[in-house]
């Protein structure tokens, strides 16, 4: 398994040398952040970015994310859609030339991840991201000057309105069809260039503002994996996103993906539910939230997982000010914790003929 850490490029307040100082991190997960959605990522820009990272003895084999243009998700203007898909394929070709192995993307309409609070206060005075269903119900995305924590729109009020209506008309089945159309075109290209695509689940995995959600349950995952049956068509397993839906069995989802070899990239973070559709994010250790991290890593060990893993959102601690969810300290603590479990499992596996012992413990 390769431990990685997300970096927001030159705009990130965390310098690469700090990332290098976190024990056992070998990979930087990043993207080109200044390219308008839908444009080709040029090879020279990618070379410059990966050279910066390599200067610190780190690698850039995972991209999170190449964003998908709304026209691809909506599929209304067929000519524009195909052109944008070609751009995506061209970007994949360029990424393969600099040694990228995994490309994360998502198919969430308009908004990426959604939270209602970016600094939810905990009893120990740390803060984290949180989602409160009651608050979301009070936000009307069609209202002028609507604001959503962490979402900086580049759409005018009128454009946003049009997009919301278009997705309502498209519905869940339409969005699914457009995802499959996209994958049928891009997966063969990814395969040819030895890249695994890894869709990020909906975050949170339930409908927001009436927009369709298509990637949040085991059935959604099975549909994706079986409909485009190619190793290059994979999933980013995100414990916090899947975990936000109480009926999801995370171990069932990750086992299914591990058995099919369709999970090249993993995000681990912990969460705690306030009620069915409201939750806050916690420190990584199992006893702080609802997710059993030891059991999670045991499953990875049993399947001899060789992919990439990163600690996901951290809390703000030690007085740090930074990008919500993406400060340095708590993510570094999270990584050290996950690494400790991993090291223990590896030693146990070696000295006690692991598989049998691990099987009994899970």
**Distance (Å) of CA 122 to CA 125, 178, 244, 317:** 5, 41, 19, 10
Q: Which of 7, 41, 113, 120 binds ligand DNO (CB under 6 A)?
A: 113
Would you state the torsion angle of the CA atoms of residues 56, 58, 59, 62, taken in this order, to the nearest 10 degrees? -110
59 vs 200, which CB is nearer to ligand DNO? Answer: 200
Q: For the window 169-208, what string marks contact with ligand DNO as x by the rule CB under 6 A?
A: -------------------------------x--------
Footprint (CB under 6 A) of ligand DNO, residues 210-239: none
Confirm whether 267 is a catalytic residue: yes
- Start-end of H helices in the chain: 16-20, 43-54, 70-74, 78-97, 133-138, 157-192, 218-227, 239-243, 250-259, 293-302, 329-351, 354-361
Would you state the torsion angle of the CA atoms of residues 60, 71, 110, 38, taken in this order, to the nearest 10 degrees? 30
81 vs 313, which CB is nearer to ligand DNO? Answer: 313
Among candidates 266, 326, 292, which has minimal Cα distance to 6?
Answer: 326
Rounded to whole angstroms, the Cα distance separating 127 from 138 reads: 23
User: CB of residue 108 vs ligand DNO: minimum separation in angstroms?
Assistant: 7
Rounded to whole angstroms, the Cα distance separating 224 from 78 reads: 22
Q: Which of 65, 255, 278, 286 binds ligand DNO (CB under 6 A)?
A: 65
Q: Contact between 279 and ligand DNO (CB under 6 A)? A: no
Confirm whether 181 is a catalytic residue: no
Q: For the window 297-326, what string marks contact with ligand DNO as x by the rule CB under 6 A?
A: ----------------x-----------x-
Catalytic residue positions?
Answer: 200, 238, 267, 312-313, 326
Q: Which residues bind ligand DNO (CB under 6 A)?
A: 64-65, 104-106, 112-113, 200, 313, 325
């Amino acid at each position: 398994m390769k431990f990685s850490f997300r970096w927001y490029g030159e705009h990130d307040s965390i310098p690469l040398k700090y990332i290098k100082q976190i024990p056992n991190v070998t990979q930087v997960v990043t993207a080109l952040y200044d390219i308008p959605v839908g444009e080709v990522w040029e090879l020279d820009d990618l070379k410059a970015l990966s050279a910066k990272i390599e200067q610190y003895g780190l690698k850039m084999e995972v991209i999170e994310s190449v964003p998908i243009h709304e026209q691809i998700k909506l599929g209304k203007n067929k000519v524009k859609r195909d052109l944008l898909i070609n751009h995506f394929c061209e970007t994949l070709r360029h990424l393969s030339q600099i040694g990228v192995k995994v490309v994360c993307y998502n198919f969430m309409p308009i908004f990426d991840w959604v939270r209602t609070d970016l600094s939810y206060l905990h009893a120990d005075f740390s803060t984290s991201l949180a989602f409160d269903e009651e608050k979301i119900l009070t936000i009307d995305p069609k209202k002028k000057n609507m604001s959503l924590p962490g979402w900086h729109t580049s759409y005018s009020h009128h454009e946003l309105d049009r997009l919301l209506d278009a997705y309502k008309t498209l519905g869940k089945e339409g969005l699914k069809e457009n995802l499959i159309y996209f994958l049928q075109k891009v997966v063969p290209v990814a395969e040819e260039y030895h890249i695994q695509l890894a869709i990020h689940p909906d975050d949170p995995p339930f409908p927001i503002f009436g927009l369709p959600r298509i990637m949040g349950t085991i059935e959604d995952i099975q549909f994706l994996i079986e409909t485009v049956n190619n190793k290059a068509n994979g999933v980013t397993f995100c414990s916090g996103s899947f975990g936000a839906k109480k009926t999801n069995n995370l171990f069932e989802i990750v086992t299914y993906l591990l058995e099919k070899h369709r999970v090249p990239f993993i995000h681990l973070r912990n969460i705690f539910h306030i009620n069915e559709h409201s939750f806050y994010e916690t420190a990584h250790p199992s006893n702080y939230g609802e997710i059993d991290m030891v059991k999670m890593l045991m499953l990875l060990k049993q399947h001899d997982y060789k992919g990439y893993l990163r600690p996901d959102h951290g809390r703000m601690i030690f007085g740090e000010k930074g990008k919500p969810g993406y400060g340095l300290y708590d993510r570094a603590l999270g990584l050290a914790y996950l690494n400790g479990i991993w090291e223990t499992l590896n030693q146990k596996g070696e000295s006690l003929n692991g598989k049998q012992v691990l099987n009994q413990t899970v």
